[in-house]
Amino acid sequence: MILFYESSNGNTFDLKVGKIRTRTANLHDYEWTPMSVPQKYGEKVYGFEKAAVSYTMLLSIFGSHEDRKMQLNALHEAFDHDIRTMTPGKLTHGDSQIECYITFSTTYPDVDDDTKNEISVYCFNPFWVRPHEYRLQIIPDPADNPDAYPWLDYPHGYLYDYQAHLSGFVMADNPGQGDADYKMVIRGPVIDPVIVIGDAQIGVVGRIGASEYVVIDSRTKTVVKYSGDIAKNIFNDRIKGERSMFEKIPSGNHVVMWSGSFDCDLTIYEERSEPLWI
């Protein structure tokens, strides 16, 4: 789907095709406000800030009169659920997403074969996010299958005895113009897992069981271990150092390294002022 809304209770509405279609939307509008001090001539700019934003969307609801009522009821029940639970929904445009609440609505009388509904999409965090996902997979031990590693076939015939130093790496990219938040899912079994991104070390101290996993999220600054349906806050087990492991990932390409003895999923959240044109 190119344009759709997902409410906080999991209901999804396609806003591009089908019985609900977007006629107009100013989703590519944005504004940065300069932070400045007056000078004799003009101003001295020392930064920029970005306020929350509201977009206006005009929707057309198609179908029979009963179909339109059903679509409108379902759509606005989802909007109202987000407001009453104080849990934002999510608007997706292409591969970009933004958290939001629907704070205004007006419905026009039926004309022709559609009912028009104008809504205001309030985005408290005014950035569109593009997730970039990377998989760090377990690297097989060379001693278990030496034929898979022909470059380790030393002329003296001894086994590769530097296995403890074997590490894996992937290239991860933050293509945005600014620093990006991340989420990391570390899957057991593993003890004291560490992932290195640039000069940052991310991980936890302790054991993660075979059926367990740990989620580290820089956006919420949380470290949670999951064992089945049980979630445990292990924030105090995070790796501590001079640099907080919750710091954002800088723009550009990065080498991500780990021991290769466990699986890990890394998601980098690129932030944009507007969604990509599609």
Which CATH number does the domain 3-126 belong to among 1.20.1050.10, 3.40.50.720, 2.40.30.200, 3.90.1310.10?
Answer: 2.40.30.200
| 218-269: pLDDT as tens digits | 999 999 999 999 999 999 999 998 789 999 999 999 999 999 999 999 999 9
Question: What is the pTM for the complete model shown?
Answer: 0.85
Query: Percentage of residues in the chain with pLDDT exceeding 70?
Result: 90
Do strands 89-93 and 200-203 pair parallel, antiparallel, or not at all (unpaired)?
unpaired
| 119-159: pLDDT as tens digits | 999 999 999 999 999 999 998 765 555 554 444 444 444 33
What is the domain partition of the chain in residue ranges? 3-126, 130-272
Domain at 130-272: CATH architecture: Sandwich (2.60)
Q: What is the pLDDT of residue 139?
A: 86
Cα dist from 133 to 20, 105, 258, whole Å: 31, 36, 16
| 177-189: pLDDT as tens digits | 999 999 999 999 9
Query: Percentage of residues in the chain with pLDDT exceeding 90?
Result: 81
Q: What is the pLDDT of residue 242?
A: 78
246 Cβ contact list (under 8 Å, min separation 6) = 218, 221
Do strands 230-233 and 252-258 pair parallel, antiparallel, or not at all (unpaired)?
unpaired
Alpha helices by DSSP H, listed for the chain, are 65-85
pLDDT band at 113 (very low <50, low <70, confident <90, very high): confident
How far apart CA 187 and CA 259 sit, in angstroms, is 13
